[in-house]
A and B are shown apart, each in its own frame.
Chain A
Amino acid sequence: MNLIAPTFLAALALLVPVLIAFLVRRRRKVMRVPSTMVFRLGAKSVAKSKRIRDIRRLLALLACLLGVGALVFAAARPSGARGDLRVFVVDVSASMSGAPIAEARGWLEREVAAMGPNARVAIVTAGADATVALPPTPSGPLVEEAIKKLTPEKDVASMDEALALAEGLAAAGSQRGTANVIVISDQKIDAETSRSSSSNKPKLVLVGSKSDAKSDNLGVTSLYTRTAPDARDEEEREAVVTVATSSTVTRRARLVIRLANRVVRDRSIEVPASGDITERVGIRGPGKLVAKISPDDGKRDVLGLDDEASLEEITREPPRVLFVRPSPSGGAAAFFVERAIRASGVTDLTIVAPDDPSPPTKVDVAVVLAEGLARPRGVPTLYFGVEPAETGLKARSIDKKETHLRSVASEDSLLRGVAFDEMTTLRAKVATPPKGARSLVDFDGGSALIAGGAGNHAWVWVGIDPEASDLVLRVAFPVLVGNVLTQLGGTSQVVTAKTVPRSEVTLARSEALTTFDPAPAPKWRIPYSPALVIAMVGAFLLALEAYLTFRRKWAS
């Protein structure tokens, strides 16, 4: 045992005034009487003899001194050297929202209170990531605060990582005492995920098992916005919402979508049993986009965390374009392409040579007329006669014998407003669309306009040589370039909301083959603490002395 605040021992000097006060306290006169038999009925206290009375007073003095001494000693905060460590792994996945997390908090508070002040507590949360929410800490306000801060996340539980982290903490803490791991979750955890020896396997606390209608849940599993496939400009966006249910019957739900507090969709939807449904709605303009789902059939919705998803829609700007063209001037092709880019409304245009050593990195779309080191990677790109390896294109050159227009995918949004009628092309490249790509314009010799890829790797390849075709002289060319830039720029601007994973919304449970043993419920007991025990003894002694002194007065 050691003292955390030994300076408090200086207060032992209080014993001197206590002793003096006791000695000078009420020197009462003693009167000898024939018999105390009658007086006894109205007396404060009775001692068998003067000696016993003196002994009792001496004991009272001793009790007072001991009481004061004990309180002073308790103030010096003696503490035990041993500190057992308990690492709690708390599942903070979305399915823990509501009653389970409240139950987990309550269990933790009771358990920590029952462990006593010498034990140390660590908390690891298993959410999207495994995080040490509380490093090994003696019980106290820090622990209470950490417990209060436990909140479910809109994600699945990284239980394996969390367990590994917790077992690492326990192994480090076991040098000072025993250390064990307790998992608090709403589902069984497979014992195989633990790396501990069989004798020190983590214990499991199942929470939320009491809630009825557990399988009935509705939630938003996905919300994102993108440029609408047929968007005429950057402002025309499409919000896509996916709603899923864990119910075994079809659920009717009300879906409300708001943009900047303005309802853009409010309708009742049918969510198939154990399935999902996707809703699309066109939106325009910036603001907070909120999708909220609520039961419309009177049935329960267990989780509240997954009922709402939101994202921030910002004002769409024309894409920032990097134009890679042959140096020095690039010829007529570069001239027409640049004019077409500018005609499509692009204001932020950077023109670089293919061998430019430091091209700008923050671009939304690249237009490549010549291959080189300056061509950015991982950016949607419009290629003119250039076939990088990542597109999978293998082009060949054709002359005017094979440039007769065979078919145009006029329904494709890229070709909206683009007319190829009576187009004359003297020279071009054609290629076979690779897997996942689509041909938009076919010549007799092959596809001359192909779109492929997705997201930041989307691309549009134009095999028509701008210098050997009247396409660049037609209105169709800047329209085509504008459509392509809008589409490619839009694909890089998909905004996705953070939503609860589908497995959490549908409350998917995998039956563990060998689950952890359950942890015993915390028992209520007075937490042992040397300081507390000593203080209680001191207070008891003082209270006893006070009671013995004043009991008659109180009684009367």
Chain B
Amino acid sequence: MAAAVTELPDVSTAPREDDLPLLSPQMALRLARLSIVARKIASARRAGRRRTRRVGSGVETIDLRPYDTGDDTRRIAWHAYARLEKLLVRLVADEAPMRLTLVVDQSASMQYGRPSKVRQAARIAAGFAAVALNGEDRVALAVGSVGSTKTHRPVSGRAGLTRLLSMLDRTAAIGATDLPATVRCALDAAGTSASTRGVCVILSDLYEPQGVLAGAREARRRGNDVAIVEVLAPFEIEPPDLSGFDLEDEETGEIIELPEHGMRERYEAALREHRERVDEAARSIDAAIVRTTTAEPFEAIVMRALNAGLLSNSGS
């Protein structure tokens, strides 16, 4: 009664493409002209290029208030005094670096594709990290699945990028998907809390048994701006006709029995429904979402991120 398990001919992992470097020098140069877009004002303790809501030691005046005893006299707005004959003190915004947290799904389902989805996700994560670190932001990283989550504390500068690339380069798909736990680990490692928020980018195929965008919801719950990059293999978007097959889930071992006919149409409808649910969930947490495949060139993905508002041209 047992039947042999077969693999789809063009969906298995391809080590040869996965061996290519995550970030070529040319790509690093192009990325240097970009910056991460935080949809809300960044918040961090360390000084950086991002304006915060807190009154601090920056240079940009955000408001005026009456002078009070003990105020720094250097902050007195003399131009206002000349016009109003009142002593007013300039309030200037504090400037802090943006905290970027990258979460890469390394569950077993990410091993599919050419290159593999996990490799593609790592490559995109490396690109985001390069952009952020080039802009003096701080970047934390978590790569995880059930029982196998690795985190990297926030880094900054070119040296930090090297360490992150090293970690991403070693990523291998294994285990079941548990993005909420991975997100929690990542945010804990980044030292973020409700008062210190940043941008969290989740890279996954979004096959989350915990619920639609469960990981993104967790990140949003902890006050982060959320961006989602969905990485699928091409056959997951346009699969061959698998009517009459029994399918075994890579992660859970679940067996489903497909009908004898018409599975392609059913799958298209099901994928459409799945994506509509994802979009609805993303809207509910005000998250941006970018969809890509393993077959898409990295440049195209960058363009797509620009179009989606995850990146902006700030370098030139």
Contact = CB atoms under 8 A, between A and B. Distances in A.
Contacts of B85: none
B5 to A, nearest CB: 5
Contacts, number: 137
B254 A46 contact: yes
A30 B270 contact: no
Interface in B229-274: 233, 236, 242, 244-260, 262-263, 266-267, 269-271, 273-274
Interface in A510-556: 552-553, 556
B134 interface: no
Interface string A54-68: 100100000000000
B26 interface: no
A33 B255 contact: no
Given A36-B249, A49-B253, A50-B255, A42 B263 contact: yes
Contacts of B263: 42
Given A35-B109, A38-B270, A30 B254 contact: no
Interface stretch (A21-29, A252-260, A358-366): A21-29
B277 to A, nearest CB: 11
B159 interface: no
A44 interface: yes
Contact of A30 (B11, B247, B262): B247
B300 interface: no
Contacts of A46: 254-257
A111 B259 CA distance: 50
B205 interface: yes
A48 B108 CA distance: 18
B82 interface: no
B246 A33 contact: no
A10 interface: no
B128 interface: no
Nearest to A34: B109
A54 B2 contact: yes
B194 interface: no
A377 interface: no
Contacts of A50: 2, 248, 253, 255
Contacts of B273: 41
B267 A30 contact: no
A289 B233 CA distance: 103
Given A27-B3, A34-B205, A38-B270, A44 B259 contact: yes
Contact of B258 (A37, A44, A48): A44
Contacts of B269: 41-42
A315 interface: no
A32 B256 contact: no
A48 B254 contact: yes
Interface in B119-158: none
Contacts of B271: 38
Interface residues of A, number: 32
Contact of A31 (B117, B209, B242): B242
A57 B257 CA distance: 12
B14 to A, nearest CB: 15
B244 A35 contact: no
A35 B205 contact: yes
B67 interface: no
Nearest to B248: A32
A268 B207 CA distance: 98
A37 B177 CA distance: 12
A522 to B, nearest CB: 49
A47 interface: yes
B190 to A, nearest CB: 28
A30 B250 CA distance: 12
B241 to A, nearest CB: 12
Interface of A: 23, 27-50, 52-54, 57, 552-553, 556
Given A28-B244, A37-B274, 6 more contacts: A31-B6, A31-B247, A32-B6, A34-B111, A36-B252, A39-B256
Interface of B: 1-8, 11, 108-112, 117, 205, 207, 209, 233, 236, 242, 244-260, 262-263, 266-267, 269-271, 273-274
26 contacts: A28-B245, A28-B246, A29-B244, A30-B3, A30-B246, A30-B248, A31-B245, A32-B5, A33-B8, A33-B247, A33-B250, A34-B110, A36-B248, A36-B256, A37-B209, A37-B274, A38-B267, A38-B271, A39-B267, A41-B269, A43-B256, A43-B258, A43-B259, A47-B254, A50-B2, A53-B246
- 5 tightest A-B CB contacts, nearest first: A42-B266, A34-B109, A41-B270, A35-B207, A43-B256
